Amino acid sequence: MLQEFADWVTYTLLGLAQGTPLASSVNFFVYDSIKVTVMLAVIVFLVAIVRTFITPQKVKKWVAGRTEGVGNVVAAVLGIPTPFCSCSAVPLFIGFVESGVPLGITFSFLIASPLINEVAAAMLLAMFGWQIALIYIVSGLIIAIVAGIIIGRLHLEGEVEEFVYKVKLHDLAEKVMTWKDRLTFAKNESRDITLKVLPYILIGIAIGAVIHGYAPADFLVNIAGEDNPLAVPIAVLIGIPLYSNAAGMIPILEVLTSKGMAMGTALAFMMAVIGLSLPEMIILRKVISIKLIVIFAGIMFGAITLTGYLFNAILG
């Protein structure tokens, strides 16, 4: 139905001739932007309902006192629906460490929270299908769990600024929400987030549409195809300092993969962009040493690069 609407806009409403690059670009733009927007609004709504049950305060209680392994898994899973703004990293970190959550488990949460994000998952689902969306979520979880365990094993507690252990927290009483509150919250979140990322999506799809219509299909095979072993680490290295909206990037990735970029390389690039950011690392310096930040970034680089190679091998 959606494809028919896109065809109607392209060929009937705008009267473009079938088979021309312009028609192909316009058709792609109309189809993708509607599909992605609807899917995004629905998924953000559903995740927002789940989120009303999982506050950081509760997460802290659920993971405190758990052992390595189980604790990392629980922390990573709970990180999925929990939103993350890089400026929340510090209070979140202090809150976890102060209530006795081990460092490795704290990192599993801190990694999973931005790395696995519902906007990215929704867009992958809309543009690449459920298999790729699932691969993204599962690999994000594994990275968060394994990286957390490694950081835990390295015993880096001494790399945390001393004041963190001395903070005395005030335990906040949480308001009990009714179902009506939850639905209102989810409706507002869905509207706010969708409207906020929509401009990025449209720009991303527009750039993608131009490439889609004009670039030849094997455009990127040599640079970013499976046969270039350096493509994955380079994509990840470029992605780490970038702090972009996943929403704007996925439409471009969709087109890049159709022009020859390997899927694993594309996924690794996306994960590097949303999972790690320069502002977050700078702000974390307030609570942990540069050494720990470098270790953290290094482990993430290795984990995401490995994941990219793995997917290129499996999906290729």
Please say whether the beta carbons of 105 and 294 come within 8 A. no
CB of 230 to other proteins, least distance (A): 35
How far is the CA of 208 from the CAs of 44, 88, 211, in angstroms?
Answer: 23, 32, 5
Tell me, rounded to whole angstroms, the distance of Cα 82 from its chain centroid: 12
Closer CB to other proteins, residue 4 or residue 171?
171
CB of 161 to other proteins, least distance (A): 10
CA distance 216 to 289: 48
Angle between helices 290-315 and 130-153 (to 10 degrees): 140
Closer CB to other proteins, residue 25 or residue 106?
106
> Can you give the binding site for other proteins, defined by CB under 8 A?
55-57, 60, 83, 85-88, 90-92, 94-96, 98, 163, 167-172, 283, 286-287
Q: End-to-end CA distance of the chain, in Å?
A: 31
Please say whether the beta carbons of 31 and 2 come within 8 A. yes
Closer CB to other proteins, residue 47 or residue 127?
47
CA distance 286 to 284: 5
Closer CB to other proteins, residue 90 or residue 203?
90
CB of 64 to other proteins, least distance (A): 13
Tokens of 121: 């998952």
CB of 90 to other proteins, least distance (A): 4
CB within 8 Å of 181: residues ≥ 6 apart:
52
Nearest Cα neighbor of 141 from 235, 95, 78 is 78
Interior CA angle at 26 toward 22 and 28, to 5°?
Answer: 115
CB of 237 to other proteins, least distance (A): 25
CB of 11 to other proteins, least distance (A): 42
CB of 201 to other proteins, least distance (A): 19
Closer CB to other proteins, residue 114 or residue 308?
114
Closer CB to other proteins, residue 110 or residue 220?
110
Closer CB to other proteins, residue 57 or residue 289?
57
Q: What are phi and psi of 119, to 5 degrees?
A: -65, -45
